[in-house]
């Protein structure tokens, strides 16, 4: 096993964990928002449970996975730059990949901020919104994975 394969494997594992959280947390938010139509005490009991799950998912799985995905991704870039130079960083496929990483990181930040608003009862988003936006990370993942695996260009 070489260093590149190790870094790539660790990066893939971290991304899988991160993506799982990015896909599941909006679903928990949708369930939380839909509790507003329920009678008490069911509403409060379910929201308390859902908010505990949201917090745990974000803090125990998503945040560490995102950090590790970034660390291992930067390690891969370092290995690649050392081996073949930095020119690949300006290739369209790599720009698309990096743009996707920044967009996913921004979405992660948005989800984290919304958890605080949901906990405070000040979120303005409905269950429908969360269900509609639930697939945003997967669409970005498709673009990023195909970019990296095909290394497409405009030439």
Using CA atoms, how far residue 25 sits from 77, 109, 116, 131, 140, in Å, is: 29, 12, 13, 11, 16
Angle at the Cα of 109 from the Cα atoms of 73 and 25, rounded to 5 degrees: 95
Listed in sequence order, the residues at least 6 apart from 19 whose beta carbon sits closer than 8 Å to its beta carbon are: 137, 138, 141
Phi, psi at 124, each rounded to 5°: -100, 5
H helices of the chain, where? 3-34, 42-56, 63-84, 92-120, 127-133, 136-150
Establish whether 108 is an annotated binding residue.
no
Q: What letter does residue 154 receive in the DSSP assignment?
A: -
Establish whether 117 is an annotated binding residue.
no
Residue numbers in the known binding site are 11, 97
Residue numbers in the known binding site for heme are 11, 97
């Amino acid at each position: 096993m070489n260093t590149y394969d190790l870094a790539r494997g660790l990066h893939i594992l971290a991304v899988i964990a991160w993506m799982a959280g990015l896909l599941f947390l909006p679903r928990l938010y949708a369930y939380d928002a839909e509790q507003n139509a329920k009678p008490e005490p069911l509403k409060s009991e379910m929201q308390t449970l859902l908010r505990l799950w949201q917090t745990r998912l974000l803090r125990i799985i998503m945040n560490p996975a995102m950090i590790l995905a970034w660390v291992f991704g930067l390690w891969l870039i370092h290995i690649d730059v050392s081996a073949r130079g930095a020119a690949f960083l300006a290739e369209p496929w790599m720009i698309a990949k990096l743009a996707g990483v920044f967009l996913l990181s921004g979405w992660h930040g948005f989800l984290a901020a919304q958890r605080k608003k949901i906990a405070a009862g000040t979120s303005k988003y409905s269950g429908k919104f969360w269900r509609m936006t639930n697939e945003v990370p997967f669409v970005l993942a498709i673009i990023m994975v195909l970019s990296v695996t095909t290394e497409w260009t405009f030439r």
